Amino acid sequence: MIYHIATRADWERACLDGEYTTSTFGKTLAEEGFIHASWPSQVTGVANMFYKDVEEDLVVLVIDPQRVRAQIRHEHVPAARATFPHIYGPLNADAVLAAWPLTAGPAGEFTAFTPWS
């Protein structure tokens, strides 16, 4: 599985439209060229780096890469040790197996993310 952090509103809109087209918070697929995704071990770090100050409700999309119609590339990101999965096209909603709520703790930090297996 791969994972993507989304606002609940963006995900709900995608459920109605049949596809998700937000690259990352505040940027569309058209602007960025791909949808950012993460491996399980990267979700907490990404949440703390980019989503700490987001006041909207967040969810973690659980994505089955075998169901994604768009191309997925595993690419290096500057200053990161590992590759990240990037989805080069709209994410078909039926590739998302679940959308788990993601909430920060009292100090504003996201805690360890444990994916279901």
User: How is residue 99 written in tokens?
Assistant: 């959308």
Burial class (CB in 10 A: 0-12, 13-18, 19+), 92: middle
| The CATH fold of domain 2-102 | ADP-ribosylation fold (3.20.170)
Per-residue model confidence (pLDDT) at position 115: 65
Q: How far is CA 63 from CA 13, 52, 86, 90, in A?
A: 17, 22, 12, 13
**SS3 label, residue 42:** helix
Q: Does the structure show a pLDDT above 90 at 80?
A: no
pLDDT digits (tens, 9 = 90+) for 13-48: 999 999 999 999 999 999 999 999 999 999 999 999
| Domain segments of the chain as ranges | 2-102
Average pLDDT in the chain: 93
- C-beta neighbour count of 57 within 10 angstroms: 14
Q: What's this model's pTM, rounded to 2 decimal places?
A: 0.92
Buried b / exposed e across 71-83, counting CB within 10 Å, b at 16+? ebeeeeeeeeeee
Res. 105: pLDDT tops 90 = no
